[in-house]
Amino acid sequence: MIRITQQRAKCIGCNACVEAAKYRWRVSRKDGKCTLIGAVQKKGFFSVIVEDDEEVANRIAAKNCPVRIIKVETLHATSPPKQSLQN
């Protein structure tokens, strides 16, 4: 799983992220800024957790964002539950 985060207030609506991952980004008709589809907002940062198959495209989006407001993090799987040592 990966977490994609966007600092939306600083978006300039250039469309670069949409070109990289159009299923995850859309320019809003209301304010011209890009919306991270499926994201929840917390203190001005929008974030969403998605499957690994979106990683490459969204890393390109982050790299191509001219104002550097997209972050992509790999989330490590949690440890498997401890097994009992008793037979």
Q: Which residues bind ligand SF4 (CB under 6 A)?
A: 6, 11-17, 34, 65-67, 69-70
Residue 70 or 72: the one with the smaller Cβ distance to ligand SF4 is 70
Question: Rounded to whole angstroms, what are the CA distances from 60 to 1, 15, 41?
Answer: 17, 13, 22
Among all chains, which residue has been given the structure tokens 């939306």?
8
Residue 12 or 56: the one with the smaller Cβ distance to ligand SF4 is 12
- Compute the least distance from the CB of residue 6 to ligand SF4, in Å: 6
Residue 49 or 68: the one with the smaller Cβ distance to ligand SF4 is 68
